[in-house]
Every structure is written in structure tokens, then in C-alpha cells.
């Protein structure tokens, strides 16, 4: 019979999951509200240019942090499970040093290559100055990633969550204040204001996390072995994750830059191409990703839990936990996809007042089933030390989708980009799930985990539209409640409950 958690540990996991879920939802709500503010302030075209700016910046972010956060979490959790608090401190320090070295390199590349990137990729809309402003924040972000990984490992979710909220609020407040002056002067001053606000928020987040970390490490004491974690152990996690993320980020950057260029080849003028790109990346995608805040918290907390169970040899419990997580993710994602599909129009109009965003949201709604499942599967595999295999899958998917995008965009236009998004998620998700099945022996129950929730979601939306026909936004929470009720009513009682 498998070992189970104590009630105290279950309660701690539930509390941390609740804290991270609340903070993640708050951050995504703030992010969507800020995007709506931006769309009104600088328009869909401006949002598209800003998304292109972020796609280039994200390459620098990936080079800076790579697998630093994951390495910090896994190594600190491993050392604490072995009763080595000094080893945990050493792991965080080594990961932070690796991040700082990489981030300084990334900052230099972005800073000195900003003008060339702007001339080649930003369609003459802005110069490289906003990119230089963003480059200054990378060292602070890298160090903060290592500290945040530590707080995940020791299950102090409220500290990393509060840092994320502080960062988001600082960015919004600083950028909004600067935009008041900058936006009337044109698109480049507006992007510079957004970049400066982002850089300031990263610095504030790092200083806050550093203060919390220095206070928290005193709780660990100095018991256990004083053996330091070697750099090669940290690099064994950082390198495969970082290199694969870097390759994937470079390809994704190329894909995002290619979209407006490909749309122009299809016959769409530059302004409309940027507006369509902004409607998908800056408007539809945040709505699609918002509900996943309920799962993101659990995915980050699963990594140290799975790592500790692997150290202790708790394979049976890992298998049970995997099955339960897989089931819950499918039940949640199928219902979410159905509700987003049916209520795409009122949701988009409520946030952005843009019917184009609603059109793309409805098309992309089914993709959330695979998107959410892939995210949870990746977290489970990282906990099982399968990051190298995940790296190969991610790189293969990125290369194939890049080739597909190059072929489809000039022919199908924006719908070629949408087709590429579906291919990327299906390809990556299928291979990741297959890897998880191999490692855990997971048995899929498609009838109970996919077909039943699909029927419940359809019935819930149908009932909600008839019970609340006058106000669609009130129908959304009603549909959610009806979906949960139908899941409970149609669930089969099992002879044994799954222990988590």
C-alpha cells in the first residue's frame, strides 16, 4: 500500500495552491485589463507592434533564465528532502550565479543589436530604444527567477505570489503614468514608456524577493550535511532546459516576426497585418490563457512534490497522482473550451470592444484542451527529471511549425497562422503525453475524462443560454455552475478513492 501524505502536508499543498491560484488569477485579470487599456490607448496596430517587441525581448529572457527557476526548485527540494539546508542555500546561490552570467550576455546582445532588430523586424514603426530599455532588466529577472524557485521548493507560495503581484502592479502604474505623457507623441514613445515600466517592475520584484529570501533562509537552520551543490549539478538541469528553451524561443521569435511579413505577402497591408496579429496575440490569447491560472498553481507545486517522491522511491504514489491530475485537467479544460467557444463574442466585447478578437477567440477555443493538458504534463515530466526529453520534443515542434508557417502564411493568410497554432499544440501535447504514459503507466479513460465532460459542457451552455438569454455575461458563471453540477450528477462512484 502506497505511502500517503499527512493531513498537514495535504493542507499545506492546498493552501499554497489556493494562494498561487488567487495570485495567478489576479495577475491575469490585471494583465487583461491592462491590455484593454493599451488597445484603447494605442490601438490594435500598436498592440501588435508591442507584441513584436516582446517576442524579441522574450528571446533575451529565455537566454537569461533558461532553466534557472526549475533548477533552483528541483535542487532545493532535493537537498531539503535529504536534510541538507546548507545544500539548499548553495543550490539557490549557484542557480542565481548561472542566471546572472547568462543575463549579462543576453543584455549585451539585445542592447547592441537593438537598432538592427528594429530596422529588420519592426516595419519602421519604432527604433531600438525600447528594446534597450527592456535589456536593462534582464539581470534582475534572472536573479529573481532563482529566488522564486526557492520559495516554490519550500512551499512558501505567498512570498513568490506577492512578488509577482508587486511586479504587475508596478508595471501597470509606471507604464500608465508614462503613457499619459508619451502616447500622444506617437507609437515609439508609447513603446518606450511600456518598456521603462517593465524594467522598473523587474527591479522592484527582485529587491522585494531578495529581502524575503534573506529573512526566510534563517528558518532553515544549519543542520544536516554542509556539502555544497556543485555547479555541474545545477548545469545538468539548466543546460538542457535552457538550450532547448533558447532554440525554441529563437524559433518562436522568428515565427512571430514572420507573421506580419507573411500576411503582407498574402496581400494584407502592413497596418492591417499588425492589427490582426495584435488581435490574436494581445487580445484573444490572454482570454484563452486566463482560466489556466487555476491549473498553473498546481503545476508549479507538483514539481517539488514529484521530485521528493522520486528521491524517496514513491513510484506508486506518483502514478496515482499523475492519473488524478490528468483527469482533473481534462475535466477543467473541456468545460473551459466549451464556454469560451459559446461566449466568445460577449467576453471579447466586454474586455476589448473589438469584434475581431471575438472571431479569433471562437476559432481558438478548442485548443485550450490540449494547451492546458500539455502544461500540466510538462510539469509532471519535469518533476520526473525528464526535462531533456521535453527539450527534444519542444525543439522538434518549433522547427516543424516554423516550416509549416512559412508555407501556409502566404497562401492562407491569418488562417495559416491559426492552423500552425493548432499543429504546434497537438504535436507537442501528443508526444509529451506519450512520454508520461511510458514513465508512469498512465491509463487513459477517454469516455469518462473527455466525452462525458464534453457532453456536460454542451448541455450546460445550452441551459445557460435559455435561463439567462438577456445578459450573456451573467450566463458565463451560470454555465460554469451548471457544468460542475452535471459533472457531479454524471460521475460514477468508485470503490476506492484516489489518494493525492
Q: Is 52 exposed, middle or buried (0-12, 13-18, 19+ CB in 10 A)?
A: buried
CA atoms of 150 and 428, how far apart (whole Å): 28
CA atoms of 12 and 73, how far apart (whole Å): 17
Distances (CA, A) of 73 to 40, 154, 175, 299, 397: 39, 8, 31, 13, 26
pLDDT digits (tens, 9 = 90+) for 457-492: 999 999 988 887 766 667 888 999 999 999 989 876
How confident is the model over 124-130, as a mean pLDDT? 81
Lookup: cell for 332: 477543467
| Phi, psi dihedral angles at 269 (to 5 degrees) | -70, 160
pLDDT digits (tens, 9 = 90+) for 248-268: 778 878 877 787 778 778 777
The predicted pLDDT at position 459 comes to: 94
CA atoms of 123 and 118, how far apart (whole Å): 8
CB 405 within 8 A of CB 417: yes
Distances (CA, A) of 123 to 248, 271, 324: 23, 10, 48
The predicted pLDDT at position 20 comes to: 67
On the question of pLDDT at 123 being above 70, the answer is no
Show Cβ contacts of residue 452 under 8 Å, excluding neighbours closer than 6 positions. Answer: 487, 490
pLDDT digits (tens, 9 = 90+) for 139-150: 999 999 999 888
pTM over 0.95: no
CA atoms of 109 and 114, how far apart (whole Å): 8
Mean pLDDT, rounded, of the chain? 81
How confident is the model over 306-311, as a mean pLDDT? 68
Beta strands in 281-385 (DSSP E): none
CA atoms of 93 and 234, how far apart (whole Å): 10
Distances (CA, A) of 291 to 254, 287, 294, 458: 28, 8, 6, 18
CA atoms of 298 and 122, how far apart (whole Å): 37
Longest CA–CA separation in the chain, Å: 68
The predicted pLDDT at position 155 comes to: 75
Distances (CA, A) of 430 to 82, 277, 364, 404, 425: 35, 27, 18, 18, 8
The predicted pLDDT at position 365 comes to: 92
CB 63 within 8 A of CB 102: yes
CA atoms of 275 and 46, how far apart (whole Å): 8
Binning pLDDT at 50, 70 and 90, where does residue 496 land? very low
On the question of pLDDT at 95 being above 80, the answer is yes
The predicted pLDDT at position 191 comes to: 86
Lookup: cell for 253: 521569435
DSSP 8-state secondary structure symbol assigned to residue 450:
I
The predicted pLDDT at position 6 comes to: 46
Lookup: cell for 144: 529573481
3-state class percentages of the chain: helix first, strand second, coil last, to nearest 5: 85, 0, 15
Show Cβ contacts of residue 253 under 8 Å, excluding neighbours closer than 6 positions. Answer: 55, 56, 58, 59
Q: What is the CA radius of gyration of the chain?
A: 23
The predicted pLDDT at position 221 comes to: 61
* 3-class secondary-structure state, position 444: coil
CB 209 within 8 A of CB 147: yes
The predicted pLDDT at position 252 comes to: 77
Distances (CA, A) of 13 to 156, 312, 314: 10, 18, 18
* 3-class secondary-structure state, position 248: helix
Amino acid at each position: 500500500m502506497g505511502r500517503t501524505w499527512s493531513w498537514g502536508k495535504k493542507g499545506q499543498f492546498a493552501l499554497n495552491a489556493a494562494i498561487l491560484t488567487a495570485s495567478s488569477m489576479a495577475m491575469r485579470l490585471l494583465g487583461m485589463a491592462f491590455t484593454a487599456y493599451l488597445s484603447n490607448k494605442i490601438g490594435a496596430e500598436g498592440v501588435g507592434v508591442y507584441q513584436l517587441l516582446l517576442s524579441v525581448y522574450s528571446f533575451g529572457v529565455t537566454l537569461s533564465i533558461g532553466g534557472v527557476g526549475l533548477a533552483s526548485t528541483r535542487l532545493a527540494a532535493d537537498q531539503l528532502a535529504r536534510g541538507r539546508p546548507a545544500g539548499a542555500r548553495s543550490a539557490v546561490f549557484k542557480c542565481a550565479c548561472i542566471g546572472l552570467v547568462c543575463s549579462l550576455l543576453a543584455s549585451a546582445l539585445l542592447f547592441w543589436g537593438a537598432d538592427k532588430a528594429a530596422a529588420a523586424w519592426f516595419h519602421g514603426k519604432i527604433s531600438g530604444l525600447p528594446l534597450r530599455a527592456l535589456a536593462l532588466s534582464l539581470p534582475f529577472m534572472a536573479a529573481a527567477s532563482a529566488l522564486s524557485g526557492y520559495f516554490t521548493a519550500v512551499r512558501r507560495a505567498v512570498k513568490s505570489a506577492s512578488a509577482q503581484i508587486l511586479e504587475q502592479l508596478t508595471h501597470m502604474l509606471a507604464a500608465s503614468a508614462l503613457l499619459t505623457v508619451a502616447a500622444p507623441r506617437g507609437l515609439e514613445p508609447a513603446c518606450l514608456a511600456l518598456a521603462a515600466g517593465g524594467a522598473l517592475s523587474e527591479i522592484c520584484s527582485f529587491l522585494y524577493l531578495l529581502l524575503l529570501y534573506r529573512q526566510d533562509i534563517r528558518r532553515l537552520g544549519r543542520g544536516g550535511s554542509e556539502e555544497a551543490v556543485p555547479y555541474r549539478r545545477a548545469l545538468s538541469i539548466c543546460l538542457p532546459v535552457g538550450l532547448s528553451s533558447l532554440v525554441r524561443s529563437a524559433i518562436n521569435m522568428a515565427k512571430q516576426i514572420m507573421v506580419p511579413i507573411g500576411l503582407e505577402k498574402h496581400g494584407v497591408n502592413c497596418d492591417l497585418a499588425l492589427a490582426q496579429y495584435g488581435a490574436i496575440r494581445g487580445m484573444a490569447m490572454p482570454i484563452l490563457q486566463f482560466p489556466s491560472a487555476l491549473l498553473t498553481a498546481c503545476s508549479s507545486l507538483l514539481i517539488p512534490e514529484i521530485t521528493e517522491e522520486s528521491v524517496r522511491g514513491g513510484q506508486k504514489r506518483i502514478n496515482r497522482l499523475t492519473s488524478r491530475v490528468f483527469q482533473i485537467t481534462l475535466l477543467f479544460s473541456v468545460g473551459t473550451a466549451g464556454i469560451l467557444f459559446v461566449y466568445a463574442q460577449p467576453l471579447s466585447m466586454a474586455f476589448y470592444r473589438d469584434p475581431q478578437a471575438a472571431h479569433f477567440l471562437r476559432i481558438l477555443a478548442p485548443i485550450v484542451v490540449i494547451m492546458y493538458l500539455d502544461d500540466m504534463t510538462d510539469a509532471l515530466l519535469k518533476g520526473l527529471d525528464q526535462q531533456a526529453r521535453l527539450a527534444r520534443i519542444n525543439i522538434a515542434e518549433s522547427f516543424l511549425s516554423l516550416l509549416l508557417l512559412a508555407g501556409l502564411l502566404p497562401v492562407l493568410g491569418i488562417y495559416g497562422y491559426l492552423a500552425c497554432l493548432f499543429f504546434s499544440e497537438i504535436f507537442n501535447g501528443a508526444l509529451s503525453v506519450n512520454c508520461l504514459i511510458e514513465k508512469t503507466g498512465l491509463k487513459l479513460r477517454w469516455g469518462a475524462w473527455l466525452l462525458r465532460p464534453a457532453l456536460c459542457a454542451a448541455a450546460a451552455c445550452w441551459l445557460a443560454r435559455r435561463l439567462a438569454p438577456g445578459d450573456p455575461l451573467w450566463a458565463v458563471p451560470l454555465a460554469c455552475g451548471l457544468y460542475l453540477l452535471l459533472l457531479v450528477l454524471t460521475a460514477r462512484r468508485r470503490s476506492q478513492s484516489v489518494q493525492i
